[in-house]
Structure 1
């Protein structure tokens, strides 16, 4: 019971926020980015109304142009910035559809994670949960991509089909190999089945990111100088952006699909769950939610969203087009 109470408190802290992040953290350090994204992915921003969003955007515009109404506090400005960054895409300035925002991943991904960790899955259930997981991932990757270049619907459909088919194939293949490993005891096979989702999801996530954002590799992404002016379109920067995003997708499922099986293997031996087997799934859901609440900000904090790269490492025409030693680009989330 003490462990469950601690888990509840921890889940509320990482999944809802503690309300103390009113000052802007430094985004040059991992800890600063972690605090920043922990605030941005606050699921309470999902319930911000359209009128409140417009108010927040207008408040930031007034601040930018020096026309702030009297009495506006720093806390209100940071609150407006939090709302805008959680809802508005930085490249298109359009509203991101709620299920595909980073602040919505905790709620919409919870069901998928619990399904992926269910023991004794059939081939049909494995295909279903992997399809659901990778379909959501594909839409999140697309909604939070670098959108400096227009992408036609046909490219999205091609990327989606390729991402989902490859991801599901990897996951099903690994699960079939485990199920056919007759040399393992039932207990060992069950333990392996619990850990199979991690390499399956991690490798599938890489395919998902690359296929959903492959147009960036073909057309390049905009890079900006220190004054925010577009210097050019770089394929090299696009490669860096996709590599960094792919690495975050490898780290993201690690705490979610590795920690819950370990914790549950311990909790299932307690007298509480032995005498109440119906509580196993709710407890597992709680553990998964806490793990995901920690994993998401940790993963997306690995690299800055606005990444920096030396101009000498980019295409010669871009290096010659600016005097800045470094340029920045939106790597996406």
Structure 2
């Protein structure tokens, strides 16, 4: 099959997959989170960025195919490897495994909740935010501390409640403790997104018309962007922190793991990795990255500034 048949014409800033459908967004984000992009060399990255610049200025050399042009490069300001979406699964899975370890102590709960994405997630949220407006370091620190406190408070509080609940047998208590990370992570994820990107609510984010021109900065669009991102952060930990405890508890009853207790951790790690690999593209595919909103819903000055009935904004990842 020729490349022209397999690859549609390249469009700057647009995906090769249809973004109005969930399946199209799912295929798009499978490319975005592909961990193979972590190993792209600096020279190959510069070549890709150069191709984009030449395409933008209409000076693309002859012989460049759509297959070459649609390679996903990073931005000119490269994101640190662990905080890219393509690094989310490989760098996040060990933390998820630690969260789901049985017989957690108060100290281990605090440590894993701090590592779990209150540090990792905070940086991922910040690195993949809508960056049309600069944000200060002090706001990043405030958001980070708020996210850490919320995660640790929820996790420790639930663990204490379970330990003090005398109506539960030791086995039931152990099983319930395995599910504690989900409400802690889901609740903290919401706080994380809001606190780390609070400047967007204060200053607004750029909205663009059908020609890609900036119409203005909208705080209403920022609210929509943060709400959509927060919802994905609630959906994301569901399969990761709910399915592995169920699956592992069932596998622990098998003859294989009963006779090989040392294999429980490797098996749990593989289950977490599989759940993470499925959950991430499903969650971030819920909404398009470039979301659309009707102009009349926005601030009056923005509605007056364009004849477009709808505008788009980057909700971030």
Structure-2-length-normalised TM-score: 0.93
Over residues 247-280 of structure 1, what are the superposed CA-to-partner deviations in whole Å (9 max), with x where a residue is unaligned?
A: 0000000000111111111111111111110000
Deviation, structure 1 residue 22: 5.9
1:300 aligns with 2:284: yes
* 1:231 aligned residue: 215
Quote the residue 2:233 is aligned against: 249
State the 1:68 CA deviation: 2.7
Matched residue of 1:198: which SS?
helix
- For residues 175-214 of structure 1, give each alpha carbon's deviation from its aligned partner in whole angstroms, at most 9, with x where no partner exists: 2111211210111111111112111111110011101111
Q: Which moved more, 1:210-219 or 1:59-68?
A: 59-68
- Where does 1:128-277 land on structure 2 (aligned, <5 Å)? 128-133=111-116, 134-277=118-261
Separation in 1 of the partners of 2:115 and 2:96? 10
CA contact 2:240–2:276 (8 Å) conserved in 1:
yes
**Secondary structure of the structure 2 residue equivalent to 1:232:** strand
Does the 8 Å CA contact 1:171/1:204 hold for their aligned counterparts?
A: no
Question: Which of these residues, 19, 36, 51, is aligned with residue 27 of structure 1?
Answer: 19
| Structure 1: unaligned runs, 5 residues or longer | 1-20
Structure 2 gaps of 5+ residues are 1-5, 9-15
Secondary structure of 2:293's partner?
Answer: strand
Q: Is 2:39 the counterpart of 1:39?
A: no
Is contact 2:150–2:187 with CA below 8 Å preserved after alignment?
no
Pick from 60, 71, 83 the counterpart of residue 63 of structure 2: 71
Correspondence for 1:3 = none
Query: 2-side partners of 1:163 and 1:271: how far apart?
Result: 41
Q: Deviations over 1:91-118 (max 9, x none)?
A: xx42111111000011110111001000
- CA gap 1:22/1:136 in 2 versus in 1, 3 angstroms: farther
Q: How many residues align?
A: 304
- Tell me the TM-score normalized by structure 1: 0.89
Q: 2:77 aligns with which of 62, 71, 94?
A: 94
Aligned CA-pair RMSD: 1.3
Distance 1:179 1:104 in 2: 36
